[in-house]
Amino acid sequence: MAAPPSHLFVYIDAEALHAVLPFPSLISHLRDGLPAFSGDIHCPHRVSFPLPTSPSAALLLMPSWCAHPSLPYLALKAVTSFPANSPRLPSVHAAVSLFSSASGVPLASFEGSMLTLLCTAAVSALAASLLVSPSRPPSTLTLAGAGALAPYLTEVHLSTLPSLSRILVWNHTKAKSTALIAKLRNAHPGIVVEEVDGMDEAVSAADIVSCATGSQEPIMRGELLRPGAHLDPVGSFTPAMRECDDEALHRGRVFIDFEAAMEEAGELVGAVQRGMLRREDVAGTLAKLAAGTVVGRRSDDEITVFKSVGTTVVDLLAAQLAYENYIATKNA
């Protein structure tokens, strides 16, 4: 289209976002949009401002924009971090604003935390769908972490990979994993959901291992990955964080969401510094994988690793789809 639809400014809350961004639609949009627009979307480095209003509080701003006529939008993601908040109040909040890149007119604002959860899960599932073996469909998913992202990772993998029939859940805090298991059993009654006491057991039994923790030390050992497994460590996004060890990267063929992962993901940064990984060892980005310009899985027994840290490229594409779907729904 030549320009964004002309409508009054809208606010799309978390519930509405989940409705206008069903996973199959979002994944399809990213599969097409990442190869088509990644080279045209500009994403300057995020800017962080310390705030004097609360101890260690900060404001982070992350802009992105596209001049391509088929994606005439710019977005600004604003994240606040207030570590001193009470336990009843989340320490991180976010909002995403969408504007016309042709006129600068503000179009929409989105509840940013939900948009981030949906984008992170969708990117994870898109990569898995492109990297798992088509001739040996996965049946067991191991989920490490029981935070806000866990239910969405489960939902998206089940919708993308219908061969999955069993989920193993591990978390540092048993009370959280117990609550998550109850939620998953209620939401997916046809799926076997089990709690495991240790990651070693969970990793060795899994076809897909998805980690969504804030760990600064490896929680899974690469030597335990079974032949043909797919590893999906999505929790780390700074050089100080690390969910898998060097052996996982050594045994697996590594893909990344964007080049930023080489500077921000603790697993990759540390492995390069230790001489365990070279940049040329990384097979490619998600955009190239989706475009088919790099080869994905080469054999049933090959282990694949997809490391994502997230960028505003995905936020912009998701905001575009959410806004256009929302407007279309209102006009129907």
* pLDDT tens, residue by residue, 29-79: 999 999 999 889 999 888 889 998 888 889 999 999 997 889 999 999 999
Continuous H helices in 21-146: 23-37, 112-131
DSSP state of 220: B
**Cα distances (Å, whole numbers) of residue 108 to 64, 97, 118, 277:** 15, 6, 18, 42
pLDDT tier, 92 (very low <50, low <70, confident <90, very high otherwise)? confident
In Å, how far are 47, 49, 78, 82, 93 from 54, measured between CA atoms? 19, 13, 17, 7, 14
Kindly state the tokens that stand for 307. 């490391």
pLDDT digits (tens, 9 = 90+) for 177-191: 999 999 999 999 999
Percent of the chain surpassing pLDDT 70? 98
Q: Measure the CA–CA gap between 107 and 84, rounded to whole angstroms.
A: 33
> Which amino acid type is present at position 206?
A
Pairing of strands 192-195, 47-50: unpaired
- The CB density around residue 161, as the number of other CB atoms within 10 Å, is 19
The tokens describing 92, both together, are 């991180």
Residues 96-132: tens digit of each pLDDT: 999 999 999 999 999 999 999 999 999 999 999 999 9
| pLDDT at residue 2, as a whole number | 43
**Burial code of 103-137, b = ≥16 C-beta within 10 A, e = fewer?**
eeeebbbbbbbbbbbbbbbbbbbbbbbbbbbeeee
pLDDT at 252 over 50: yes
Predicted local distance difference test score (pLDDT) of residue 310: 87
